Structure 1
Amino acid sequence: MGKNGIFIFVITIFVKSVKKEVLKIDIPLFLTKYIMRFIISNTHKDEEELEIIHYGIEVFLINVFKTIFLFAIAFSLNIVKPLVILFICFVCIRIFASGVHAPSTFVCTLVNLICFLGGTYLCIYVPIQPVFRMTLFAISIILLIKYAPADTEERPLLSKGLRLKLKLQSVIASAVLLLIMVVINNETTKNLITCGVLLEAIMTTPVIYYTFGKGYKNYEKFNEQVYGE
């Protein structure tokens, strides 16, 4: 089976899954709960440590399932290597900064295809001037400082200490990627690193949350409901 055949096969499976509504099953959330039950039963972590572990596992599993589909298509389009660079940079920030989740797995997968595949093609074929690239990176870091971490309605980040810790980690991770981007010589790789960080920074902004019809700063709503603050 050639790469075009693989592409057609993957798209066919995706469409059939949508029709059967298989994509409505939140497998990552189910697995996260199962793993957390095991960890709670076999460790002596405090509440904040468990929240950090839960947060990391959930983000990791959600990305694993979406990644499998994304890279199957990337393989058929022969852009796996550049996509890997962009995706790794995105995940390096995402694991700390979090951000909006689409209202359904179908929409999420569609957005991933547009952002990651489209972003990869732009980074490969569209020249970006160094000054503009640095401007985009600076904007990304500013957005992360202002908005990260951005929680979800399903997973509000209730601990102020955890939120500050994740914000700091988000900024440090982006600063490390900025340093790597400046040091390397390959222009396409520079573009891919910048695009990965920018995509994740945008995913933490209120505009994106409202676009998807999602609540923003969900920890504040939780406190209001529980404590009347």
Structure 2
Amino acid sequence: MITYEKIADKISSKIIDTLDDGSMDTEKLSYGILVFFINITKLIILLIGAYFFDVMLEFFIIIFSFAIMRLSNFGLHLKGSLFCTVVSFISFIGSALICKFLHFDIYMIIISYIVLILLTYMYAPADTESNPLCNTKQRKKFKFQSICKLLIFFFISLLFNNYMFVSCIIFGNLISTITILPITYDLFKLSKNNYELYEEYEP
């Protein structure tokens, strides 16, 4: 049976054989290729879902606002590519469908961002076992960046008079915030605050 792992191993072996200079770690290269294939497959499935449910624009707005926050929020990574794809499909496509009908008025926008900023202040950034954020200054920097981004999204939401656009931005921010919450880590049985297991270091 052909698997992503086998394809990644073959490609990495070909690259190593071609270069043949000992400058690359085969295992790391294979893992990088594997992650690339998994993410591409997941994206294709999400795009097909967005097209099928006629929420392509909503999906792109949600994924954009999610990705912007993810860069500084970080957040959990689910174990198992299939499980991650299913959860991502429900989260992003489900949110896009909701955004076609849900309208945030100014009071809902203000309340939403007050909650999101408070949760971000309390829990961002959230690390993983494979990427513990062991430097206090970096964590403070990422937290500050996340709060600034939410404030920018907040003002954008107030300025735009397009209900769908505003709803999608808020849902993208919401999904990113959910991925940093301790209760979410506990729900998926993932370790949180992994930096506490390591000594402080200067980058």
Q: Which runs of 5+ in 2 are unaligned?
A: 16-22, 24-31
* 1:85 matched to 2:61: yes
**What pairs with 1:158-169 in structure 2 (closer than 5 Å)?**
158-169=134-145
- Superposition deviation, residue 167 in structure 1: 0.8
Asked whether the 8 Å contact 1:141–1:201 carries over to 2, the reply is no
Alignment equivalent of 1:132, drawn from 91, 102, 108: 108
Q: Deviations over 1:80-105 (max 9, x none)?
A: 11111111001110111010111211
Give the Cα–Cα distance (whole angstroms) in 2 for the partners of residues 156 and 68 of structure 1. Answer: 29
Equivalent residue letter for 1:104: G
Q: Could you say if the C-alpha distance between residues 158 and 117 of structure 1 is closer, same or farther in structure 2, counting changes exceeding 3 Å?
A: same
Matched, 1:144 2:142: no
The 2-side partners of 1:24 and 1:206 are apart by: 31
What residue identity is the alignment partner of 2:74? Answer: S
Task: Indicate the residue corresponding to 1:110 in structure 2.
Answer: 86
Which stretches in structure 1 are left out of the alignment for 5+ residues? Answer: 1-19, 35-40, 42-56, 225-229
Query: Superposed, which structure 2 residues align to 1:1-229 within 5 Å?
Result: 22=3, 66-223=42-199
Structure 2 residue aligned with 1:45: none
Give the alignment's TM-score, normalised by structure 1: 0.69
Identify the residue that residue 28 of structure 2 maps to in structure 1: none
Report the Cα offset of residue 23 of structure 1: 6.2
Using the alignment, how far apart are the partners of 2:176 and 2:189 within structure 1?
18
Distance 2:2 2:75 in 1: 25
| Aligned residue pair count | 176
Query: Hey, what's the Cα distance between the residues in 2 that align with 1:21 and 1:217?
Result: 37
Residues in 2 aligned to 1:131 and 1:21: alpha-carbon distance in whole angstroms: 53
After TM superposition, give the deviation of residue 118 of structure 1 in Å.
Answer: 0.7
Secondary structure of residue in 2 paired with 1:223: coil
RMSD: 2.7
Moved over 2 A (4+): 20-25, 60-69, 126-130
| Alignment CA distance shift 1:174-1:137 (3 Å) | same
Contact 1:158 1:219 in 2 (8 A): yes
Higher helix proportion: 1
Identical pairs, percent: 28
Instruction: Supply the AA of the counterpart residue of 1:218.
Output: N
Q: Report the Cα distance in structure 2 between the residues aligned to 1:213 and 1:163, rounded to whole angstroms.
A: 23
**2:196 counterpart letter in structure 1:** E
Q: Does the CA contact (< 8 Å) of 1:151 and 1:157 recur in 2?
A: yes
For the residues of structure 2 that align with 1:172 and 1:208, how far apart are their CA atoms? Answer: 23
